Structure 1
Amino acid sequence: MSADTWLEELGVSDLGKSGLGEVDEPAFSGLAERHRRELHVHCYRMLGSFEDAEDTVQETFLRAWRRRETFEGRSTFRAWLYRIATNACLDLLAKRRPEPATGGEVLWLQPYPDRLLDELAAGDADEPEALAVARETIELAYLVAVQHLAPRPRAVLILRDVLGWPAKDVAELLGDSVNSVNSALQRARAGLREHLPAERQDWTGGEQDADTRELVRRYTDASVATDVDRLATLLRDDVRSSMPPTPGLYIGRDAVVNDWVENGFESMKGLRAVPTSVNRQPAVAFYLWQEREGAYLPLTIDVLRVTDGAITEIITFHDDQFPRLALPERLPVDGTE
């Protein structure tokens, strides 16, 4: 949308000295809401938490409304919102998480529903977040790696490499010089590589082809049968497993399998599974039979990363994520909902 078009929609022909000060709140909110999903994905990428992203987008809209007089049209309305959102994320990180993640795990990590990402894909293909999602920087391996960067280098990396902002614009947003931004970008890229597999194809799941779907089916069947031996054959030697917000990162097939055995997975009977997908990755939602309820109730969600025909990462989320992912609250014994 051109600047003239959206200004006309707001009933403004010339920003003048008052910025958007004369625009009424319903018109302003209507325009801002068009960018909610892409701003939410941007904040989610910065923060790693779906809930924190929700809060930050709300804060972004509040700040934008309060500061509407400062918008002079020198950039697009979208870019102006991104600036406010990025600063809101940095402010939140300074309060809640001044230190980045360490040790390869992110305890505050939460999944992002594919059905919400589809809202971007269905929109303008030239929108920055639509392009970013198409480049698969929304997968959990990338999110985990990004959370290991300090907040400001993280912002530089996302704005420059994900959204494609010029160094000059990023420097203006952060109040730094272009040289400082370029230096921060190089450090961020190096830090990112430390927490990602060496080759891009090893951390991005890509399209879920027939072989991947078959592997996920075998994983699902073996899980429902609680057959640890069958599951072990599907894992790559260097597989990683975690369960945020529960601490613990297990690396290697033996470590992952031993964790399952020690936690009594083989004795867990009465499982059912529902296939789904989050963060553009295959996932399986598991339900456990509860005799008192007479139904299968939510248990966990396994999000899988598949590389070269083997499972290379399993990130398990608790049952509190089921509603956000629009998964059934229960599965009756007869299989109907």
Structure 2
Amino acid sequence: MTEATPLGADEAAFIAAALSGDQARFALVTERHRRDLQLHCYRMLANYEDAQDLTQETFLRAWRRRESFRGHAALRTWLFRIATNACLDFLDKRHDRAPLPAEAPEVLYLQPYPDRALPEDPQESVVARETIELAFVVAVQHLPPRQRAVFILRDVLGWPASKVAGALELTVASVTSALQRARVTVRERLPGRRLDWRSPATHELSDGERAAVKSYIDAHERNDLAGLSSLLRDDLRFAMLPERGTGTTTAEDAVNGWVSGGLFRPGHDDWRGIATTVNRMPAAALYLRAPGEPEHRLFAVAVLRVVDGRIAELTGFAAGGTPWPGLPPAL
């Protein structure tokens, strides 16, 4: 008779909490997995608020199914399986989250992910930059939901095909086929970029990235349109969400568009900025004080991809009137 594998401390504590029927005790045991699960849900959904909601749904489902856990798999694996299927159920019900057509450049429901909410595990933080950058998250949204789940579980989390098949109730052959198709789509969406998202990468910003953010903020605070234009690459890729209309543009056209939209009026617009990071990327929180207003109010968060000291991609998120994690609403 084969001796049963001893339970790990995490699994034993979970089973004890489940048997006790004490929901508060159960919550204490599962809470340590919140950040990992939330980041997983974000990769599936590309929306920070939805990721928070689906993480909570994962815990509720785990509580309801607590008696089914026997410790045959790691608790983390069991919770990730529940989270993945909760996200798939959510996507099935949300018609606005259908896979994007190949020509669709923007994800209107995209939200940035605050770095303060990333997992504290250093290894997960290292992996996070490659697989949480906005371009990567957007690329994944072009996959059908189940294919997306296969791709994330296999290529991001590194699960074996048999484990993914069990989690999604698929055959190993189906998992292999879905992964091959998913890799093709994601690589097509990331031309000329870091195509091996599984390779190690530092999560620290470079000196060039920090300098670009500082210069970007300085140009706003001086209403320096020429200085702002000089920071932008000619093949800039720009988006301002949740508005439609994004893609490759010239630095001049981008700046002219901002001016025609009523921004950068010397003597009228008064800007302040805070350097920050989201999605392990450099970002600038921009605050605007209109004439007669006593405070600079949060206006937008600009997430930047910097190449050779200049801004190659700029994704702006309208932030006025909405709470923003980790940022004051006014200065």
TM-score (norm 2): 0.88
Aligned equivalents of 1:321 and 1:314: distance in 2? 21
1:250–1:256 Cα contact (<8 Å) kept: no
Question: Aligned partners of 2:196 and 2:288: how far apart in 1?
Answer: 32
Contact 2:238 2:247 (8 Å CA) reproduced: yes
Secondary structure class of the residue paired with 2:264: helix
Q: Distance in 1 between matches of 2:73 and 2:281?
A: 35
Return the letter of the residue paired with 1:112.
Y
| Residue 251 to residue 205, structure 1, CA distance change in 2 (3 Å) | farther
- Counterpart contact for 1:205–1:307, Cα < 8 Å: no
- CA deviation after TM superposition for structure 1 residue 4, in Å: 3.4
1:310 is matched with: 310
The one-character-per-residue Cα deviations of 1:251-292 (angstroms, maximum 9, x if unpaired) are 122442342232133326211111111111111111111444
**Is 1:275–1:284's contact at 8 Å kept on the other side of the alignment?**
yes
Change (3 A) 1:21 1:114: same
SS across alignment from 1:246: coil
Letter paired with 1:237 = D
Contact 2:126 2:203 in 1 (8 A): no
Residues 111 and 279 in structure 1, CA contact (< 8 A), matched pair in contact too: yes
| Cα offset, 1:131, TM superposition | 5.4
Picking from 182, 187, 205, the partner of 1:188 is: 182
Per-residue CA deviations over 1:14-70 (Å, capped at 9, x if unaligned) read: xxxxx9455432222111111011100100110000111111111111111111121
Query: Partners of 2:134 and 2:97 in 1: how far apart?
Result: 21
132, 139, 146: which one aligns with 2:127: 132
* Match status 1:65 vs 2:63: yes
Amino acid at match of 1:132: V
Match of 1:335 in 2: none
Work out the number of aligned pairs and report it.
317
208 and 95 in structure 1: CA distance in 2 versus 1, 3 angstrom threshold: same
Encode CA deviations 1:122-146: one digit per residue, 9 max, x unaligned: x3x46xx44532x521111111111
C-alpha distance in 2 between matches for 1:219 and 1:73: 52
Using the alignment, how far apart are the partners of 1:11 and 1:62 within structure 2? 16
Unaligned runs of 5+ in 1: 13-18, 332-337
* Equivalent position amino acid for 2:184 in 1: A
Q: SS at 2:298's partner residue? A: strand
Kept in 1: contact 2:297–2:320 (CA 8 A):
no
- CA gap of 1:321–1:56, structure 2 versus 1, over 3 A, is farther
Counterpart for residue 115 of structure 2 = 114
Paired residue type of 1:5: A
In the other structure, the counterpart of 1:49 is 47
Q: Tell me the SS of whatever aligns to 1:265.
A: coil
| 1:315 CA drift (Å) | 0.8
Q: Is 1:9 paired with 2:9?
A: no
Distance in 1 (alpha carbons) for counterparts of 2:15 and 2:178:
41
Match of 2:242 in 1: 245
Task: Give the aligned CA root-mean-square deviation in angstroms.
Answer: 2.5
Structure 2 Cα separation of the partners of residues 194 and 321 of structure 1: 36
Counterpart Cα distance in 1 of 2:39 and 2:145? 16
Farther-moved stretch of structure 1 (60-69 vs 80-89) = 60-69
Which string of whole-angstrom CA distances, capped at 9 and with x for unpartnered residues, describes residues 72-92 of structure 1? Answer: 222111100000000000111
Q: CA deviation at 1:239?
A: 1.3
Opposite residue 308 of structure 1, the aligned amino acid is D
Gaps of 5+ in 2: 1-5
Residue 284 of structure 1 corresponds to which residue in structure 2? 284
> How far apart in 1 are the matches of 2:314 and 2:195?
17
- Quick one: which amino acid aligns to residue 306 of structure 2? V
Cα distance in 2 for partners of 1:198, 1:321 equals: 37
Report the more deviating stretch, 206-215 or 172-181: 206-215
Question: Equivalents in 1 of 2:223, 2:19: separation in Å?
Answer: 62
